[in-house]
Amino acid sequence: MKVSLVATVLDARERVGPFLTSIAAQTRPPDEIVIVDGGSTDGTLDVVRAARGVVVLEEPGASIARGRNLAIARSTHEVIAVADADCLYEPGWLAALMRTIEEGADVAMGWYEPIVEGLWDACLASVNLPLTPAEIDPDRFMPSARSVAFRREAIEAVGGYPEWLPIGEDMWVNHRWRERGLDLRFAPDAVARWPLRPDPAAVWRQYLRYARGDAHAGMYPERHALRVAVYGGLAAALVSRRRWPLALAALGGFAYARTPIRRAWSRLGAPAERAAAAVLVPTLMAWIDLAKLAGYGIGLVDRLRGRAGPQYAKKPRPLLRPRRPSSTMRRRSGGGA
C-alpha cells in the first residue's frame, strides 16, 4: 500500500526543518509528501521548498481544516497520514501506522508524547495527557491529527475536515468516525513528539480556543456542564460559613489532582522539583479549567448570535464530498454510514 503524508504550516520556520528531517529519517518513508502553507511570512516556504520530494501548495488565509482538505485532494494514494509540522517523529512512526492499516484498520491512531525539558514542561505534560500508552483505553481514545493515518474512503465518508470549524476539526472527524462504526485501532508504537506551550498566557489561549471550538461544534457539552457545576460548588464552599463544604472541596481537589501529580513526580527526580510540582500541577489544572470555562462560554455566545456552526461558515466549493463507505469498509467495521 502507498501512503501520502500531508501537513499544514504557517510561520513555522524554526520547527519545519527538524520536522522534515524526522520525516526523511522514517524507516518506512512516505510515497509522497504534500504540505499546504497558509500564508507564511517568516521564511517557512523557503525551507519547505528546499526539501526534496515535497509538493508545496500555497493557500494564504487557509485554516488548518482547509489546508488539510487541499493537501488530501492533491495527494494521489489510498492511505493518508496526517502530521503536524511542529512535531518530531520517531523513525518507526509511519511504519507502525501503516502496519495497522495493512492489518485491516480504517484508521490507525498514533501515540504522541510531549517534549519535556524542565519543571514547567513536566507539570503541563502531566495535566495534558497520560504518562504512557498503558493508561489509554483504545476503544475510547481519540487520535490527534498530529499522529494519525486513514484510508481515503474514511475521510471522504465524513466529507473531509470541517472548514467551518477553526479549531477542534480533528476531534469532530473522530466523533463522526466513531458514530459510523469505522475500524479505529490504536498504534502505540507510532510516536510523535510535540512541544508544549511555553508560558501561562499561551496555555490560556490554547485551552480557551479549544473550548470555544467545542461550543461551536457542540462537542463535550456534558464535560463542560460538569466543570461549571464543580467550580460553582467550589465558589459556594469558599463563601460558606460552615467548614464541611470547604473540607469536602479540598478532598475533591486532592482526588482530582492526584493522578497528574503522580505523573509529574514520575517525570521529575529531584525532591525540590517534586515539591514544586505538588503546587504547580493543581494551579495549572485550575488555570486550564478556567480557560475552558471562559472559552466555552464565548463559544455559546457565538452560537446564540449566529456566528458559529456549519450554517455560518464561508463555504468554498468542497474538495471532499461525503459518500457512503465502500462495502469492504462496512464489512471491516461491522457498521455503515
Question: Is residue 51 within 8 Å of 34, Cβ to Cβ?
Answer: no
State yes or no: pLDDT of 71 exceeds 80. yes
State yes or no: pLDDT of 73 exceeds 50. yes
pTM of the model: 0.86
| Phi, psi for residue 328 in degrees, rounded to 5 | -70, -40
Q: Give the confidence band of 237 by pLDDT, cuts at 50, 70, 90.
A: confident
State yes or no: pLDDT of 337 exceeds 50. no
Q: Give the confidence band of 326 by pLDDT, cuts at 50, 70, 90.
A: very low
Q: Which class would CATH give 3-118+129-196+313-333?
A: alpha beta
pLDDT of residue 323: 40
In angstroms, the CA 326 to CA 176 distance is 16
User: Mind listing the pLDDT tens digit for each residue in 148-178?
Assistant: 999 999 999 999 999 999 889 999 999 999 9
In angstroms, the CA 155 to CA 222 distance is 27
Which residues partner with 149 through β-bridges? Answer: 81, 108
Q: Which stretch, 35-44, 133-142, 229-238, has highest mean pLDDT?
A: 35-44
pLDDT of residue 312: 57
Average pLDDT over residues 98-126: 96
Domain residue ranges in the chain: 3-118+129-196+313-333, 200-304
Average pLDDT over residues 113-139: 91
Which stretch of 56-60, 223-227, 327-331 has the lowest confidence by average pLDDT? 327-331
